[in-house]
Structure 1
Amino acid sequence: MWFKNLRVYRFSRPCDITADSLETALTEFSFKPCGSQDRQQLGWVTPLGKHGQTLLHVANNNLLVCMRREERVLPSAVVKEALDAKVAEIEEAQGRPVPRKEQQTLKEEIEMQLLPRAFTRSQMTFAYISPANNLLVVDASSAGKADELVSLLRKTVGSLPVVPLTSKTNPAACMTEWVKNGPLPDGFGLLEEAELRDASEDGGLIRCKQQDLTSDEIYAHLEAGKMVTKLALDWRERLTCLLEQELVIKRLKFNDILREESGNADDIDAVAKFDADFMLMCGELANFIPELMESLGGEEISELNG
């Protein structure tokens, strides 16, 4: 149980969600597979997969949930082929062109006919609530996936007053300063990957990999006005990540030594291994997130109702 991405949300008031209340609420919105006419379904499943029975996993008062998204896959090419055949049939039988509005109606009818035979695919999205730290942490690479989970969780618990974590200083400005002039904040180190973008609307974009970011070449780009919008960082040799200007963490990777602290899978059962990994991860992130925010000038506290 190790997250690969971080989208972090701050509760605008002390989090009062408890394990018991959340477990009860999750049951009402448990996952149900797509019916014959459903395009997609969202719902909660056990975070432990085949090893779990409950929809909530709790460790050190951190509340882990897992959302399953199932959708029917209906390729547009298949729909178009069926629609073209139907339009051709009508034109030949009735000797008239089929207007666009009628074609749209035919398309919708064809999709409804094909849906029951369409394959389904599923995706899991994990998140945990840390009441002690007043945070919701979502493992999602895209904003869309995170928004789906937050919306479902809000519907599940009735009220979820959270906003994305925001820093007092523009992350792109901070990252640019780190690379251009240094030094980095205590505990953080540069790796060899970054994205540099011109501030103008149609400005250029440079992606660097396996590149010394302190080189004269990179400095020249920054002097010319480019900003660092993505930056690979090491944190205390405990984890590495790619920090984006939207304050999103991607390609999060925990140190192998840390991962081994929870024991080998051969030594302990799967549930104990999962639990140990989750506790270790939450412990690391409880230190990493505040230090990251401090490095960006501190956290901007937002007011939110609801």
Structure 2
Amino acid sequence: MFFKNVQLYRLPAPWGMTAERLAEALASQAFAPAPSNELLRQGWASPRENGQLVHAANGQFLLSLVTEKKILPSKVINQVAKAKAAELEEQQGFPPGKKAMKELKERVADELLPRAFPARDAVDVWIDPKHGWLVVNSSTASKADDVIKLLLNAVDRLPLESLRVQSSPAAAMTAWLESDEAPHNFTIDQDATLRATGESKSQIGYKRHTLDPEDMRRHIAAGKLCQRLALTWNSRISFVLTDQLSIKAIKPLDVLKENDSVTFDQAERFDNDFTLMSGELANLFADLVEALGGEARG
């Protein structure tokens, strides 16, 4: 396993929470399928499908937030509501007005809900108590917000904060491109997006393309800042850093795959992979924070 896209949060380092205490706190929010008349249901499920809400390995914790949502296509609702509106028009001699039509659609949605198809989605969460990281495996901030909201409700006085750094990622990435020099332990790859800060909001993107220093300086001189930049850390992990301090398109490189231990036991293999990922990413995060001027305090 290897997280693909992450949103980063900070905990005290070290954080004195045990897997047992955390699982006990999450128990009140354990996932259960939504009843037929409920549109949305969220809760914590076992990451290893063994009944344990917190999977612990080598001092690292893994959680899984499951969301079940009933799928009610608007096209179906509109079709049924249109048919019912026609019946009303025939009965009363005039079509329902705007307000009545809105109420009719709401009633139709309620009627169709028990027959709606439930779709489930799971978001993994990794907690590193030793280094103080809480990492949500999602490319979107909204899913991370769901995770954080439920955790704050479940864990009393959870000492969680957003990661804040001294240098804005956009300013730092722009400076790296302008100087054609990556920070220590990093190399610049071939993907980048630069966007103008003025009213034009003009944008240029590079995909698998050499980032010529002169081209970069010309765009920067014209008022563009780097919004996304592909980097490789320590020849071990490639990723894309965004101006919102999200890390996307994470990919372990061959040097990690070659060092991956071989085992025929599925549970042992999972824990080995989890331990490898958590150790490598924790080191990457530390170097990235340093490259961005360190953490902002206070």
Q: TM-score range by the shorter chain?
A: over 0.9
Alpha-carbon displacement from aligned partner over 1:181-219 (angstroms, at most 9, x marks no partner): 132111100100000100114320111112111343333
Aligned partner (choices 95, 110, 113) of residue 111 of structure 2? 113
**1:13–1:301 CA distance, 2 compared to 1 (3 A):** farther
Partner of 1:29: 29
CA distance in 1, matches of 2:83, 2:245: 49
Partner of 2:64: 66
Partner of 2:181: 183
3-state DSSP of counterpart to 1:227: strand
CA distance in 2, matches of 1:200, 1:17: 46
Question: Is residue 289 from structure 1 mapped to residue 273 from structure 2 by the alignment?
Answer: no
**1:99–1:8 CA distance, 2 compared to 1 (3 A):** same
Q: Are the counterparts in 2 of residues 259 and 277 from structure 1 also a CA contact under 8 Å?
A: no
Alpha-carbon displacement from aligned partner over 1:65-95 (angstroms, at most 9, x marks no partner): 0111111110011101111111121112101
The amino acid of 2:291's aligned partner reads S
Partner of 1:174: 172
Q: Mark the runs of 5 or more structure 2 residues left unpaired by the alignment.
A: none
Q: How does 1:1-306 map to 2 (within 5 A)?
A: 1-11=1-11, 15-49=15-49, 52-264=50-262, 267-302=263-298
**1:14 Cα offset (Å):** 6.1
Greater Cα offset, 7-16 or 245-254: 7-16
**1:98 Cα offset (Å):** 1.2
Greater Cα offset, 68-77 or 156-165: 156-165
Q: Are the counterparts in 1 of residues 13 and 131 from structure 2 also a CA contact under 8 Å?
A: no
CA distance in 2, matches of 1:12, 1:46: 25
3-state DSSP of counterpart to 1:3: coil
**1:31–1:260 CA distance, 2 compared to 1 (3 A):** farther
Aligned pair count reads 298
CA distance in 2, matches of 1:46, 1:92: 54
Q: Are the counterparts in 1 of residues 139 and 248 from structure 2 also a CA contact under 8 Å?
A: yes
Q: Are the counterparts in 2 of residues 57 and 65 from structure 1 also a CA contact under 8 Å?
A: yes
**1:164 Cα offset (Å):** 1.7
CA distance in 2, matches of 1:48, 1:14: 25
3-state DSSP of counterpart to 2:25: helix
The amino acid of 1:45's aligned partner reads A
**1:259 Cα offset (Å):** 3.3
**1:260 Cα offset (Å):** 4.4
CA distance in 2, matches of 1:287, 1:233: 15
CA distance in 2, matches of 1:240, 1:13: 26
The amino acid of 2:44's aligned partner reads W
CA distance in 1, matches of 2:279, 2:273: 10
CA distance in 2, matches of 1:256, 1:47: 27
CA distance in 2, matches of 1:254, 1:272: 20
CA RMSD of aligned residues (A): 1.6
CA distance in 1, matches of 2:5, 2:297: 23
3-state DSSP of counterpart to 2:20: helix
Greater Cα offset, 17-26 or 164-173: 17-26
Q: Are the counterparts in 2 of residues 31 and 42 from structure 1 also a CA contact under 8 Å?
A: yes
Q: Mark the runs of 5 or more structure 1 residues left unpaired by the alignment.
A: none
Q: Are the counterparts in 2 of residues 13 and 161 from structure 1 also a CA contact under 8 Å?
A: no
3-state DSSP of counterpart to 1:28: helix
Alpha-carbon displacement from aligned partner over 1:111-133 (angstroms, at most 9, x marks no partner): 11111111111111011222211
CA distance in 2, matches of 1:182, 1:217: 11
CA distance in 2, matches of 1:39, 1:202: 41
CA distance in 2, matches of 1:194, 1:7: 20
Alpha-carbon displacement from aligned partner over 1:29-87 (angstroms, at most 9, x marks no partner): 111112101111111111124xx331111112211101111111100111011111111
Greater Cα offset, 253-262 or 118-127: 253-262
The amino acid of 1:154's aligned partner reads L
- Amino-acid identity (%): 38
